[in-house]
Amino acid sequence: MKPVKLNEQPMTQKTKTAITPTRAEDYPEWYQQIIKAGDLAETSPTRGCMTIKPWGYAIWENIQRILDDQLKATGHKNVYFPLLIPVSFLEKEVKHIDGFAKECAVVTHTRLVTNDEGKLIPGSPLEEPYIIRPTSETIIGEAFSRWIQSYRDLPLLINQWANVMRWEMRTRMFLRTSEFLWQEGHTAHATPEDAQAETVKILDLYAKFVEDHMAMPVIKGEKSESERFPGAVNTYCIEAMMQDKKALQAGTSHFLGQNFSHACNIKFSGMDGKEEFVWTTSWGVSTRLIGGLIMTHSDDNGLVLPPKIAPTHVVILPIIHKEEQRADILAYCEKLAAEMRQQQYGHRQVAVEIDQRELTGGEKAWSWVKKGVPFRVEVGMKECQNDTVFVGRRDKEYKEKYSQARADFVATLTAQLDDLQNVLFQRARDFRDKNTIEMHNEKDFYAFFNEKDGGFALAHWNGNADIEAKIKQDLNVTIRCIPLLDKPVAGKCIFSGEHSPQQVIFAKAY
């Protein structure tokens, strides 16, 4: 992947940053260095996999807790299904197996035995191979066929938090790894209208969660036929713009029609006694959201976290120059922390950490800058004597700090957290809007992606898959989505001149 240069104001003198290279110098490597500096994850000895470290996993836990509560509030119940799926299950749905065949990891043997050379080799072959789940439609469909007998069993609304494996050729931590964490919802309904309503409801839930909690502006839309989930009738998605102007698919919701109910024989007896096939949906978001979070908000000094999903809201940094001051300063810090922890922010209490590591003040502060903590509060003897705090806010420059009375800081803390949350969202939305351009002819469209940095191109398209495939081959650009609009405006396709029902979004993507 070639380095991406961002459109930034030219600097007369190179500014020293905590992360090298910077976004402007080498965006892909900057992304990897953000993960390393923020202590989020590391590559694993297992090919294509990652080890998520405590700070990275704490972010995922916050995402998980909030979403789990929201899904349960809409009537979904959590379950867990086996990691291993019989190959014969995937074979039931032809489009499904065709879509995942190249990504499947297959278990073919049981036990390890030692050969004549003393090396461990696979033992007995299995009667039927197993697939390590790339997704669970087929094995859940088999259970649905037993669980559902009557219209009284519908709707059936379940969700599972799990890991999946897709044997990726090119991996990048959080964005595309062979194993990743996610939630996958699966539902069954008596009518297509109910299933379609469920599909859109979950899409709306995802969009609201990502915007409200992760401060990532998204566009809701439908995938083109070539970009649909294997086996789906319709796939809906939320698309976000990263700081290199590429798109990231942040979540998907699929209307599966009766494809999987036919394949898995999921039937129910209606109110009239007539037997019918159910209508199903599936949907999910994954640890890819953390990758999107990094690329939406972070800067050249490290990770920047929206307060609503930050593991720690405030870190207190005791500044102790003389040992005899230690007890007074730490007592002040403990009192300050206790006052902040009494407050509620979002789904939990304000999370505060006192960093008592034996490090220099600058080294300690920079470690938290790189981890993206929303507020850093320095407390020395001066602050103790004046009953103040010295505050650094993560969306500001490192040297841009302010002194505030302790009581005032505590009293306004949740408002300041909200302000930071809103600033991050508005900044990201302004960036996306600035880099979303309407295209009116094919020449400008090609120039946009060939000669410029790109972004989101809004253009009329006639629905022809051959045109879509040619654009992908020529520019590595895909239709990210057909936006869901109340009043779509028809026009002429910029590639063929034929009728187009509405504009679609083209972009390069992760």
Report pLDDT digits (tens) over 373-394: 999 999 999 999 999 999 999 9
Give the amino acid at 395: D
Q: How many CB atoms lie within 10 A of CB 182?
A: 18
pLDDT for res 415: 98
- In 3D, which of 249, 241, 219, 300 has the Cα closest to residue 431? 241
pLDDT of 10 over the 80 cut: no
For the residues 319-332, what does the mean pLDDT come to? 96
Residue 53: beta bridge partners? none
Cβ burial 208-241 (10 Å sphere, 16+ → b, else e): ebbbebbbbbbbbbbbbeebbbbbbbbbbbbbbb
pLDDT of 2 over the 60 cut: no
pLDDT of 370 over the 90 cut: yes
Task: Select 27-104+136-297's CATH number: 1.10.3720.10, 3.90.550.10, 3.30.930.10, 3.40.1390.10.
Answer: 3.30.930.10
pLDDT for res 156: 98
pLDDT for res 96: 80
Task: Select 307-432's CATH number: 2.40.420.20, 3.40.50.800, 3.40.50.720, 3.10.129.10.
Answer: 3.40.50.800
Report pLDDT digits (tens) over 133-186: 999 999 999 999 999 999 999 999 999 999 999 998 889 999 999 999 999 999
For the residues 96-101, what does the mean pLDDT come to? 83
CB 203 within 8 A of CB 220: yes
pLDDT for res 13: 55
pLDDT for res 14: 65
pLDDT for res 97: 78
Residues whose CB is less than 8 angstroms from the CB of residue 358 and which lie 6 or more positions away in sequence, other chains included:
none
pLDDT for res 376: 98
Report pLDDT digits (tens) over 415-467: 999 999 999 999 999 999 999 999 999 999 999 999 877 899 999 999 999 99
For the residues 76-101, what does the mean pLDDT come to? 90
pLDDT for res 11: 41
Q: Is 420 left (phi over 0), alpha (psi -120 to 50) or beta?
A: alpha
pLDDT of 3 over the 60 cut: no
Domain regions of the chain by residue span = 27-104+136-297, 307-432, 437-507
Average pLDDT, the chain: 95
Reduced to 3 states (helix: H, G, I; strand: E, B; else coil), residue 386 is: helix
Residues whose CB is less than 8 angstroms from the CB of residue 444 and which lie 6 or more positions away in sequence, other chains included:
none
CA gap 437, 445 in Å, rounded: 10
User: Domain spanning 437-507 has what CATH number?
Assistant: 3.30.110.30
Instruction: Report, in angstroms and rounded to the nearest whole number, the Rg of the chain calculated over CA atoms.
Output: 26
The owner of tokens 């910029």 is 494
What token pair was written down for 5?
A: 């240069």
pLDDT of 349 over the 80 cut: yes
CA gap 463, 30 in Å, rounded: 37
For the residues 330-343, what does the mean pLDDT come to? 98
Helix (H) or strand (E) holding 283, with range, is strand 279-286
CA gap 357, 122 in Å, rounded: 48
Report pLDDT digits (tens) over 110-121: 999 999 999 999
CB 428 within 8 A of CB 215: yes
Kindly give the pairing relationship between strand 375-379 and strand 401-405.
Answer: unpaired
Kindly give the pairing relationship between strand 314-318 and strand 375-379.
Answer: parallel
pLDDT of 124 over the 80 cut: yes
For the residues 41-47, what does the mean pLDDT come to? 96
Cβ burial 105-134 (10 Å sphere, 16+ → b, else e): eeeeeeeeeeeeeeeeeeeeeeeeebbbbb
pLDDT for res 91: 86
Report pLDDT digits (tens) over 230-278: 999 999 999 999 999 999 999 999 999 999 999 999 999 999 999 999 9
Q: Do domains 27-104+136-297 and 437-507 have the same CATH topology?
A: no
Residues whose CB is less than 8 angstroms from the CB of residue 3 and which lie 6 or more positions away in sequence, other chains included:
21, 25, 26, 27, 28, 29
For 327-383, the DSSP string reads HHHHHHHHHHHHHHHTSEETTEEPPEEE---S--HHHHHHHHHHHT-SEEEEE-HHH
Q: How confident is the model at residue 361 (pLDDT cuts 50, 70, 90)?
A: low
Q: How confident is the model at residue 360 (pLDDT cuts 50, 70, 90)?
A: confident
